[in-house]
Structure formats: C-alpha cells, structure tokens
Structure 1
Amino acid sequence: MKKIFLSIGAGPGIGLSTAIRFAKEGFHPVLTARNPERLRGLADEVRQATGQEAEAVRLDAGDHRQLVALAERYAIVDVLHYNAAIVHGQSLSQAEYANLAEDVLVGITGCLYALKAFAPAMLARKAGTILLTGGRLALRPAPEYLALGVAKAGIRNMTEALFADFAKQNVHIASVNVTKAVFPRSPEAARVAELNWKLHSQPQGQWTWEESDD
C-alpha cells in the first residue's frame, strides 16, 4: 500500500511542487483546496510529471468539520502538509474586518484544526511527518502584510512548541521558513519542495523543526 501525502491548501506553487516531489518518491498525493476545478488541473500536472495519480478533494481549511471528516476519510496519513494561507497586501488601515478574520482563520486556526484532526492518529501509530509552510514575515514583519505575518509567526510558534513532544512519540513536525517570493511552477517553489523532502527524510536523531530557503 502506498504511503499518503496529503496537502492542505494545495496551489500551483509550493503545494504542487511539494506534491510532485513526494509523488516521485512513490507517495500517493491527496490535494485539497477550495477550488475543485483548479485542484483537478493540479492533479493532472502531478500525473504528467510523475506518472502517479493524485486525488483532488475540495476542502475549506477554515472549517473544522471538514477537516475532521477528511481525517476520518484518510485515517492513515504518512505526511501532512499544511500550506493554506490567504495573501492580502493590505495595511491595518486598509484591511476589512472580514479579511482580517479570514486571514487568521485560514493561516493559523485552520492549521490548529488540522493538527488536532490528524496528529492523534500519527501519535497513536508513532509514525508520521507534519510539514508546515512558514515565512520570513514571522521574523521580519511588514506592515503591508500584517495579517499574513501574524499567521506565519503563529506557524513558527506552534511548530517549535510541539516539536519536542511529538518527537518523543516518533512524529516529526517541522516548517520551512520561506524567505523568497515563490511563483507557480518556479525554481523557488521546487527549492521549498526539496526542503520539505529533506525534513521528511532526516534520520530521527537528526530531526530539526525548521529549515529556510535562504
């Protein structure tokens, strides 16, 4: 039975490149996001690049009920990749209240939902890798990307907070601190995908909780 790589918030940049990287290693990719039409296109790209079939599942990462149902559907996930985020280039004065709430819901709360939904099965099996997409805004915030920076700071915080406890139970949680602009199907996206693979492939005695693309 093939190992499962499940991507939450799969897009044409980091999500697609990371799914392709794991598919090349024999993983069965499950791609999730809000837009089913785009997901089907990404699944086709994975198949064309690797020969591996990929599943496309519509998911709103901000809805904990959908995440719980997804975790019940895929009871055994070997690698969970949380890549969901909303990018609004807005200052605090420009931002709408609804945008701020949605940015935090998808960027931070959705990740916590995903961890709560999927981590217990991994910890019970004492096996699994959880990969989170971080960003330089966690370290060098910018006022025009305030909500996104808060989200990335939250990703970094939860990764470091959970790392030691999860490692004791043979589950590796780690994040990639993305410091460069990443465009769809770009070398920068491929670089992040390679770092995700590196984190997954680390021997347990050498596990780290963060890598950076700089």
Structure 2
Amino acid sequence: MSRNPENLRSQIELLSKDASKVDPFSVDAGEPDSIAQFVQAAIGKSGNVDVLIYNVVALARGRPSTIQPATLTSELNINVSGALASVRAVLPDMLQRKSGTLLFSGGGWTVYPAMEFASISIGKAALRSLSLMLAEELRDSGVRAGMVTIIGAVEAGAPFDPQKIGRSFDDLYRQPTDQFPAEIYFRGT
C-alpha cells in the first residue's frame, strides 16, 4: 500500500522475483479508519497478504517548542496510527495461517532525534516502539515483525539510494524465522 504505488517499484521488483504475485494499492495512511476496509478489499482481490511493508512518512519542520499540537497529532496519525491500522487489518489472517511478515521503515531520527524535525523524530520513535513490541508479541506465532532503520537521507544514486534500501527490506524478509531480527540498520552501504 502506498499513497503513490510508483514509490514501491524497487520493493515490488525484488519481492516479485520469488513471489507469485505482488499487487501495489493506493491508500492514504492519514485515514487510518479507512485502512482496514481498504485492506479487506485488497485481500478480496489478491488473496492473502503475505508481506506488509509500511513505508510512510509525514514530515513537518519544527522544534519541539514551536510545532503545533495539531501538526504532531496529524503526523502521528500517519506515521504510527496508520501502521497500527494496517497491522490490525492483516494480522488476523496471518495469525490464522501462522505465516506472514510485517516490515516497517524507520529513520535515523528514530535513534538520533533532530531538534529541527521534532514531529518526525517523535513519530519514528513511536513507530519503532510499535514494531519492536509487535516483534516480541508475535515471536512464537509464525508471524514476523521487523524494521529497517535508515540512518541517512534517501536519495537516488547516492549511498541511501531507494534501490539499495529496497534490497535491505528484501534481505530482512529472507532471514530465517528463527533468526529474524526485530530491527536492522541501513547505513548506506
């Protein structure tokens, strides 16, 4: 799912090598209440969801003392509540099948908060907490949860090229279940 499925191209290409079918869908993560309904429609079209990649960011510049509470709330809705709504939409089926993978895109601000970007720093830290707690909760269920924490600015043709980041998601996905890490750091290699 993505507001713009074209943004998922590198991840779709990598996953399509081994998967029989990968279908991108357009959805606005700022509307968490509609995500469950949308996911059910997608499942009706495509069947089971084997992998959920939540790669969403809302980014407003501002220091903690200057950011408006409404801005923080809106961004948390996109960065965290949308992730939770997505998980809740796909998880029951994954648990029933005892199979599935939940992947989240984290950022360097998760572990190195940036004062000038308070809202996203808070949001990514909250998303990391959600991801780590899901990994622990689901540990023995057959469903895996993990995060790729990107420690740098994403830019095509640079060390943090989206293609390289997509390969990190693929590398994480391919880890054996008994060795599946809750988080990996992508440092632009």
Percentage of pairs with the same residue = 24
The whole-number CA distance in structure 1 between the counterparts of 2:73 and 2:88 is: 20
- 1:116 alignment partner AA: R
Note closer, same or farther for the CA distance 1:27–1:139 as it changes in structure 2 (3 Å cut): farther
- Deviation of residue 101 (structure 1)? 2.0
The whole-number CA distance in structure 2 between the counterparts of 1:194 and 1:211 is: 12
Question: What are the ranges of 5 or more consecutive residues in structure 1 without an aligned counterpart?
Answer: 1-6, 33-56
Q: Show the counterpart of 2:51.
A: 79
The whole-number CA distance in structure 2 between the counterparts of 1:129 and 1:149 is: 25
- Deviation of residue 159 (structure 1)? 1.4
Normalising to structure 1: TM-score of the pair? 0.76
The whole-number CA distance in structure 2 between the counterparts of 1:193 and 1:100 is: 28
Normalising to structure 2: TM-score of the pair? 0.86
1:92-103 equivalence runs, <5 A = 92-103=64-75
Q: Show the counterpart of 2:36.
A: 68
Q: Show the counterpart of 2:15.
A: 22
The count of residues paired between Structure 1 and Structure 2 equals 182
The whole-number CA distance in structure 1 between the counterparts of 2:41 and 2:72 is: 31
Q: Show the counterpart of 1:194.
A: 167
| Aligned partner of residue 177 in structure 1, secondary structure | strand
Note closer, same or farther for the CA distance 1:163–1:118 as it changes in structure 2 (3 Å cut): same
The structure with more strand, counted as a fraction of residues: 1
| Aligned partner of residue 139 in structure 2, secondary structure | helix
- 1:62 alignment partner AA: G
- Deviation of residue 185 (structure 1)? 7.1
Note closer, same or farther for the CA distance 1:81–1:63 as it changes in structure 2 (3 Å cut): same
Note closer, same or farther for the CA distance 1:117–1:123 as it changes in structure 2 (3 Å cut): same
* Aligned residues of 2:150 and 2:186 also touching (Cα < 8 A): yes
* Aligned residues of 1:9 and 1:85 also touching (Cα < 8 A): no
